[in-house]
Chain A
Amino acid sequence: MDSKKPKSNLEQQIDENLKKVYRKTVEEDVPDRFMDLLAQLKQQETQDGK
């Protein structure tokens, strides 16, 4: 029996882990500072009248 694993097995594992790393952050709540920042940017613009 040939016990060689197809390359895709390892690739798959690596991608699975990559996705986990990525998801860990994506699934966090976006910190308030960013919503505040966006609101601030908008407001600034209105004030500048541009």
Chain B
Amino acid sequence: MANDMSTADPRDAVIEHLPAMRAFAMSLTRNSAQADDLVQDSIVKAWKNFDKFQEGTNLRAWLFTILRNTFYSGRRKSKREVADVDGVMAATLSEKPSHDGRLAMADFEKCFAQLPDEQREALMLVGASGFSYEEAAETCKVAVGTIKSRVNRGRARLAELMDIGENDSLDMTDAATSAVVSSSQMPRKSIA
């Protein structure tokens, strides 16, 4: 095999995508040690199968596809539920959204970790890593409509988990919230 096609090895481009691969792996495994093991296995696979990558197409999407295939096939093998999700496992929410209605980061991560795999990955791809619906669909090998509905269901489920349904106002102006606020502001001041 001719080894001198060019000085630049196209596989070197993999390096650029490592941070994104780690982030995607983290969202799938929800555990940093497992995430890095997953990235490692994926790199090896990508390397061995690089001849199947069509140059000029989306390398990141291709790498993400390998990564998620590796994740899901490993999952089928081990079958057991993930035991240690970096401190975000099934914890109940400690707090309601903070005063300004912003969601506390830790709480958000807890909720996110509870979503089904397919919704988590769809949200990560589209909502966070900037994939188009089409790219995400290609990565997950499903129809574009499927990705759209996973993203929507994922968002709805997140809102539900965080107890901020679409009809709940996120600020403090609605009656229910101000009632809570005023009752919690009742303390002794006036009595003292």
Q: Residue among B23, B44, B171 with the most chain A CB within 10 A? A: B23
Instruction: Name which residue of chain B comes closest to A31, CB basis.
Output: B36
Interface residues on A, range: 20 to 34
Alpha-carbon distance between A5 and B159 when the two chains are bound, in angstroms: 14
Judging by beta carbons under 8 Å apart, are B19 and A25 in contact? yes
Residues of B21-71 at the interface with A, using a CB-CB cut-off of 8 Å, are 22-23, 26-27, 35-36, 39-40, 43-44, 47
**Contact A37 B127, CB 8 Å, known A14-B158, A17-B108, A30-B22:** no
Judging by beta carbons under 8 Å apart, are A15 and B170 in contact? no
Instruction: Name which residue of chain A comes closest to B104, CB basis.
Output: A17
Q: What's the nearest-Cβ distance from chain A to residue B88, in Å?
A: 10
Judging by beta carbons under 8 Å apart, are A11 and B155 in contact? yes
Judging by beta carbons under 8 Å apart, are A13 and B102 in contact? yes
Q: What is the predominant secondary structure among interface residues of chain A facing chain B?
A: helix
Q: What is the predominant secondary structure among interface residues of chain B facing chain A?
A: helix
Asked if B124 is at the interface (CB within 8 A of a chain A CB), the reply is yes
Residues of B7-24 at the interface with A, using a CB-CB cut-off of 8 Å, are 9, 14-15, 18-20, 22-23
Alpha-carbon distance between A37 and B45 when the two chains are bound, in angstroms: 12
Asked if B103 is at the interface (CB within 8 A of a chain A CB), the reply is yes
Nearest 7 Cβ contacts at the A-B interface: A22-B128, A25-B23, A18-B128, A18-B127, A17-B108, A26-B19, A30-B18
5 additional contacts, CB 8 Å, given A30-B15, A33-B36, A34-B39?
Answer: A14-B155, A14-B159, A18-B127, A25-B26, A26-B20
Residues in A lying within 8 Å of B, measured CB to CB: 3-5, 7, 9-11, 13-15, 17-28, 30-31, 33-35, 37-38, 41-42, 50
Residues in B lying within 8 Å of A, measured CB to CB: 1, 9, 14-15, 18-20, 22-23, 26-27, 35-36, 39-40, 43-44, 47, 101-103, 105, 108-109, 112, 123-124, 127-129, 155, 158-159, 164, 166-167, 169-171, 173-174
